Amino acid sequence: MKAAVVVFPGSNCDRDVRVALEASMGRPPAMVWHAESTLPESDLIVLPGGFSYGDYLRSGAMAAHAPAMREVVARAKAGVPVLAICNGFQIATEAGLLPGLLMSNASLRFVCKDVHLRVEHSQSLFTDCFRAGQVVRMPVAHRDGNYFAEAEVLDALEDEDRIAFRYCTPAGELADGANPNGSIRSIAGIFNETRTVLGMMPHPERLADAELGGEDGKTMLDRIVAALG
């Protein structure tokens, strides 16, 4: 299996994803600089977290126009799985890979902490290591993670089983107190139509090592790698 991680100016979780993927794959993924107009052959493309272009205009807005992103969009349309984490999720929405957008957190403050996620749909490459309804723990770290989309879009996402994760309490209940950023309908991650693109604000690569306090992220990455051979 081959993986590629796209690195933008200002990406800062690219190394973290590389380390976690390498642990799962047994060898490192290709690191692709944003200015490249071609991508190496890949079974998985990762858009990592960080502050691409400082997130200065809108989060992800400028990175979405990077040369490498044209190729990412083309590959995604051809069915290559794309895992878009945090700033990567923001870039994916700006690039039109996923609907909706990520607004400023309701608190207007950056938030970094472990959150609980309820797995909403387990029939996808990214989530079939979990059961639907299972509660997992992963960290968030963002200032613009407040997912928003029009009601019709949200209804369609729900009808088509395209909501991957929702923020929840440790017992799996949805509650304002368990939603770290004010995301509409507590949405933490969504799929594209074919469930081959996953955008999520939480960072699976940050809890992929028992010494860091948890391994739910490792469970997810290991399964993706195993499924892609």
Partner 1 sequence: MSAPAAPAAPAQAEPAITAELVASHGLSDEEYARIEALLGRAPNFTELGIFSVMWSEHCSYKSSRIWLKTLPTEAPWVICGPGENAGIIDIGDGQAAVFKMESHNHPSYIEPYQGAATGVGGILRDIFTMGARPIANMNALRFGSPDEAKTRHLIAGVVAGIGGYGNCIGVPTVGGACEFHAAYDGNNLVNAMTVGVADAGRIFYSAAAGVGHSVVYAGSGTGRDGIHGATMASAEFASDSEAKRPTVQVGDPFTEKLVLEACLELMATDAIEAIQDMGAAGLTCSSVEMADKGGTGIELDLDRVPVRETDMTPYEIMLSESQERMLMVLKPGREEVAQRIFDKWQVDSAIIGRVTDSGRLVLKAGNAVVGDLPIRPLVDEAPVYERPYLEPAPRAPLAPADLPADPPPMQALARLVGSPDLCSKRWIWEQYDHMVMTDTVQRPGGDAAVVRVHGTDKRLAITTDCTPRYCVADPKLGGAQAVAEAWRNLSAVGAKPLAITDCLNFGSPEHPEVMGQFVGCVLGMGEACRALDFPVISGNVSFYNETNGHPILPTPTIGGVGLIAGSGRMATLAFKAADETVLLIGATEGHLGASLYLRDILGSEAGVPPPLDLAAERRNGDFVRGLIERGLVSACHDVADGGLLVALAEMALATCPAGEPIGVRIAPPAPADDAAPLAAWLFGEDQARYVVSAPAADVPTIMAAARAADVPAQAIGHTGGDALTLDGRGAISITELHRAHEGWLPDYMAAPI
Partner 2 sequence: MKAKVHITLKPGVLDPQGKAIGRALASLGFSGVGEVRQGKLIELDLQADDAESARVEVRAMCDKLLANTVIETYTIDLEP
Which residues sit at the interface with partner 2, rule CB under 8 A? Answer: 53-54, 56-57, 62, 65-66
Question: Interacting stretch for partner 1, rule CB under 8 A, among 63-71, 90-98, 125-133, 208-216?
Answer: 208-216
Burial class (CB in 10 A: 0-12, 13-18, 19+), 185: middle
Within 10 angstroms of residue 131's Cβ, the number of other Cβ atoms is 9
- CA nearest neighbour of 195 among 98, 129, 117: 98
Distance between CA 201 and CA 144 in Å, rounded?
9
Which of partner 1, partner 2, none does 195 bind, CB closer than 5 to 8 A by kind?
none
Closer CB to partner 2, 66 or 224, in the complex: 66
Closer to partner 2 by CB, 109 or 131: give it. Answer: 109
Gap between the Cα atoms of 169 and 39, Å rounded: 40
Which listed residue (13, 71, 86, 94) is catalytic? 86
User: Could you confirm whether 211 is annotated as catalytic?
Assistant: no
Q: Which is nearer to partner 2, 65 or 212 (CB)?
A: 65
Q: Binding partner of residue 144 among partner 1, partner 2, none, CB under 5 to 8 Å per kind?
A: none
> Between vectors from CA 65 to CA 61 and to CA 69, what angle results, nearest 5°?
115
Residue 212 site contact among partner 2, partner 1, none (CB < 5 to 8 Å, cut-off depends on kind)? partner 1
Could you tell me the smallest distance in angstroms from the CB atom of residue 53 to partner 2? Answer: 5
| Residue 176: half-sphere exposure toward Cβ, Cα within 13 Å | 2
User: Minimum distance from CB of 110 to partner 1 (Å)?
Assistant: 5
Contact 212, 206 (CB under 8 A): yes
Residue type, position 27, single letter: R
Q: Which window, 108-116, 118-126, 160-168, 184-192, contacts partner 1 (CB under 8 A)?
A: 108-116
Q: Which is nearer to partner 2, 34 or 162 (CB)?
A: 34
Q: How far is the CB of 54 from partner 2 (least distance, A)?
A: 5
Smallest gap, in angstroms, from Cβ of residue 35 to partner 2? 8
Strand boundaries in the chain, DSSP class E: 3-7, 30-33, 44-47, 82-85, 101-103, 111-119, 135-142, 146-148, 163-168, 187-191, 197-200
